[in-house]
Structure 1
Amino acid sequence: MPAPRISFEFFPPKTLEASFRLWETVRMLAPLNPEFVSVTYGAGGTTRQLTHEAVTTIGREFGLRVAAHLTCVDATRDETLAIAESYARAGVSDIVALRGDPPKGQGGFRPHPDGFASSLDLIAALKETGKFTIRVGAYPERHPEAADDGADIAWLKRKFEAGADQAITQFFFEAETFLRFRDAAEKAGIDASRITPGIIPIENWSGIRRFALASGASVPAWLDDAFEKAARDGREDLLATALCTELCDTLLAEGVPALHFYTLNRPTLTRDVCFALGVTPEVTLQNVA
């Protein structure tokens, strides 16, 4: 089986210590020759400037293709498109277009009076510029705000119709979750090759578990049992590596051509899983000056 295409997600640092961790993460994973890497946007656009700085620095210093997250939250249409234009001027040709999470305490999403009403409007506007490869989010399990079980597929189809090029899914813990979603997407007329599964290596089970429950991802009971037993033996890292590798291997065996890793700026487990999948370093990069 050939090695898969891979990509990685990072988040922008808010502290000096976090900055060192980001650059160490990029240094460790860049030699694996990812198809692209993405940099997230904080809730409510709280890391807008930090995201821009991280995107441009990663592209400039490491020569990677970088996709910048861009959301509809707390900005006018003109402000949002101005950010996109600044990326284009910096040589960034990929954007992950999202509705975005509302600021803390706001409750549900409320569009800015002069902003984009939804990710569909943002996608269409970015497509009209002709300057970007547009990636979007997808939900293999029911989004907390979805009206019914078919809403996420219908919404994803509308994103592609609006101009999206590729989709990256929310993370999940069992291969069947993604494979069922892929089959449903194909049945709805979506080219499944344009949907990349999002993979989250489990560096810390309790933290990932909380993250999953908050985002609507189901948590299998067997995972709780497995990590409880592994913790008693001090083998959590070994278990995490084995589980993530098995998940990815199953997806690849089912014809999935690419994997997107949510690194959480902790590269070791992601690197080890990539090694196990046959993805090996192609170049040695120098430290950032």
Structure 2
Amino acid sequence: MTRSQHPLGVSFEFFPPGTAVGRDRLVQARDALAARQPRFFSVTYGAGGSTQQRTREAVGVVGESGITTAPHLSCIGSEKAQLRDLLAQYREEGIDSLVALRGDMPSGMASIGELRYANELVAFIREETGDHFEIAVAAYPESHPQAPNLDRDVENFARKMHAGADMAITQYFFTAEAYFHFVDKARALGVDKPIIPGIMPIVNYTKLARFSDACGAEIPRWIRKQLESYGDDSEAIGEFGTEVVTRLCQQLLDGGAPGLHFYTLNQSAPVLKIVDNLKA
């Protein structure tokens, strides 16, 4: 990158739009967030056919900003030959960063694929491409929903890092202590690479609650109760959400977090309200 990066070390995630209107919204969000000189952008991945193609198209759109853009790459349900071809395509397109994930089993697919876990995917990428890609993996401060306990989950996380990952990006959370506790446990297992907190702005309580329940992210009871009290008052929800998430981000930065990765939902305004509140 030729531009200086944001002093807080922020990065932003987008998802592939499915419509022309969604594409225009993505471009608007991309431009607004690129002006903050982030470390990188990431684009989520969906296994299987059209979704994968939309991811590649979105990577192209986001990459037009000149900001390093990292596609999500999922291994579940894919064969090594498919992954090898995709890695080659990304290299040809000038992509040098990836977010390597296990992913979810695509509906209608019977085969789990040749690689079952993210640590195997990281090792495969290193075997195939050496150090060409900077690789990020996922971390779950409150434990992966399918993990039997946090200790086992941190062990699995350490395997991914030791397989050759350069950094980790966490699932979002709303309790700073969960992040710091996870980092301490990872460091005890020899993980010395950056673990970047994932941050979710609070914009729509109903959608946030549904998604959080599905992915295992805990919304503290006091936050739920306050959000419920606002009913359909989106302005009040947004103001409270900005206050809560700003405080969380500042706690993380003050405690030594190496940056912040925002899940934008292809919207720039809620994220920028938080970023502009923060102190380096």
TM over 0.5: yes
* Cα distance change of structure 1 residues 160 and 272 upon mapping to structure 2, 3 Å threshold: same
Q: Deviations over 1:24-83 (max 9, x none)?
A: 110111100010010001255651111111112322x21010001111133210111211
SS across alignment from 2:276: helix
Question: Are 1:6 and 2:10 counterparts?
Answer: yes
Structure 1: unaligned runs, 5 residues or longer:
280-289
Partner of 1:120: 119
Corresponding letter in the other structure for 2:19: T
Q: Distance in 2 between matches of 1:232 and 1:205?
A: 9
The aligned amino acid for 1:265 is N
**Rounded Cα–Cα distance in structure 1 between residues aligned with 2:225 and 2:111:** 40
Pairwise CA distance, 1:147:
2.6
Indicate how the Cα distance of structure 1 residues 12 and 269 shifts in structure 2: closer, same or farther if over 3 A, else same: same
Q: Secondary structure at the match of 1:12?
A: coil
Contact 1:43–1:104 (CA<8 Å) still a contact in 2? Answer: no
Query: Do residues 268 (structure 1) and 262 (structure 2) align?
Result: no
Which fold has the larger relative contact order, with Cα–Cα distance below 8 Å and residues 6 or more apart in sequence? 1
**What percentage of aligned pairs have identical amino acids?**
41
- Shift of the 84–5 alpha-carbon distance from structure 1 to 2, 3 Å rule, reads same
Deviation of 1:188 (Å):
2.1
Report if aligned partners of 2:195, 2:258 keep a CA contact under 8 Å in 1: no
Paired amino acid for 1:24: Q
Residue of structure 2 aligned with 1:15, choices 10, 16, 19: 19
- CA–CA distance in structure 1, aligned partners of residues 107 and 254 of structure 2: 41
Q: CA deviation at 1:105?
A: 6.8
Alignment partners' CA distance in 2, 1:160 and 1:143: 16
TM-score (norm 2): 0.91
Instruction: Look up the match of 2:204.
Output: 204
**C-alpha spacing 1:53/1:152, structure 2 compared with 1 (3 Å):** same
- SS state of the match for residue 276, structure 1? coil
Alpha-carbon distance in 1 for matches of 2:204, 2:48: 26
Q: Does 1:82 align with 2:85?
A: yes
Unaligned runs of 5+ in 2: 1-5
1:110 shift after superposition: 5.4
Report the alpha carbon displacement of residue 189 of structure 1 after superposing the two structures with TM. 2.0
SS at match of 1:164: coil
2: distance between equivalents of 1:49 and 1:176?
38
2: CA distance between counterparts of 1:103 and 1:20? 28
One-letter amino acid of the counterpart of residue 153, structure 1: V
2: distance between equivalents of 1:185 and 1:162?
14
Q: What residue number does 1:227 align with?
A: 227
Shift of 1:235: 1.2
Give the aligned partner of residue 284 of structure 1.
none
Which position in structure 2 is the counterpart of 1:97? 100
Q: Give the distance between the partners of 2:81 and 2:151, measured in 1 at CA.
A: 33
Aligned equivalents of 1:204 and 1:44: distance in 2? 29
Check 1:48–1:138 CA distance in 2 against 1; reply closer, same or farther (3 A cut): same
Q: How many residues align?
A: 272
Query: TM-score, normalising length from structure 1?
Result: 0.89
Q: 62, 66, 70: which is aligned to 1:67? A: 70
Cα distance in 1 for partners of 2:78, 2:32 equals 35
How many angstroms apart in 2 are the aligned matches of 1:204 and 1:104? 28
Provide closer, same or farther for how the CA distance between residues 171 and 110 of structure 1 changes in structure 2, counting only shifts above 3 A. Answer: farther
2: CA distance, partners of 1:267 / 1:85: 32
Give the AA of the match of 1:68: P
Q: How does 1:145-184 map to 2 (within 5 A)?
A: 145-184=146-185
C-alpha change, 1:249 and 1:149, in structure 2 (3 Å) is same
Distance (whole Å) between structure 2 residues aligned to residue 58 and residue 255 of structure 1: 29
Alignment RMSD: 1.9
1:278 shift after superposition: 4.5
